[in-house]
Amino acid sequence: MAEVGGETTPDAFEVVDLKDWPLPMDDEPGVPAAGEYEFEHTRAWSRKIAAAEAFVFVTPQYNWGYPAALKNALDHLYREWAGKPALIVTYGGHGGDRCAEQLRQVCEGLHMTPIIAGPGLRLPRTRIEANTGEIDPAGEFAAHRDDLRQSLGALVAARRGT
């Protein structure tokens, strides 16, 4: 992250899509807090998360909670998350506020410093239920750009400990 003209702007971020990280559920025999992983996919995931200084979780709300894939990715590790700020951005047909609050607790359980971004983004339910793929998330998020920018500023400040 860097300051540009007084504004805080990320200059090194990476999109990590869980689709690209198929971590089998409950596969590791050890306790993640011990940090000893049997499988190479877990070790690779550990290196990826250990290398990051902060996180932005962009997640749907499913049935008033967080999705299994996100919880699975979180639960695979432990120390790699600790001491880092995390911004929680949620969306869904009913918004994402319950998911955000639940995820905040999980982030605290993993010793992150979580910040919830704004109210969860409410997507058009009729189009979700029609399941035609006609929702443009980038377009929906564009309307919330200023809120998200402000939240990102809070994340950067949290990382600096200010």
Residues making contact with a second copy (CB under 8 A): 25-26, 29-31, 33-34, 62-69, 71-72, 74-75, 98, 102-103, 105-106, 108-110, 128-129, 131
- Cα–Cα dist 121/143, whole Å: 10
Q: Please give the sequence-ordered ranges of beta strands (E in DSSP) within 1-152, or none if there are none.
A: 2-4, 7-9, 55-60, 85-92, 113-116, 121-122
95: alpha, beta or left, given left = phi > 0 and alpha = psi -120 to 50? left
| Amino acid type, 138 | A
Nearer to a second copy by Cβ, of 105 and 150: the residue is 105
Nearer to a second copy by Cβ, of 48 and 98: the residue is 98
- Cα–Cα dist 34/54, whole Å: 22
At residue 148's C-alpha, the angle toward residues 146 and 153, to 5°, is 95
> What single string gives the DSSP state of each residue in 5-47?
TTEEE-SS-----GGG----TT--SS-GGG---SSHHHHHHHH
Nearer to a second copy by Cβ, of 56 and 77: the residue is 77
Nearer to a second copy by Cβ, of 81 and 151: the residue is 81
> Could you tell me the smallest distance in angstroms from the CB atom of residue 112 to a second copy?
10
> Could you tell me the smallest distance in angstroms from the CB atom of residue 85 to a second copy?
17
> Could you tell me the smallest distance in angstroms from the CB atom of residue 151 to a second copy?
22
Nearer to a second copy by Cβ, of 68 and 157: the residue is 68
> Could you tell me the smallest distance in angstroms from the CB atom of residue 105 to a second copy?
5
- Cα–Cα dist 117/140, whole Å: 15
> Could you tell me the smallest distance in angstroms from the CB atom of residue 101 to a second copy?
9
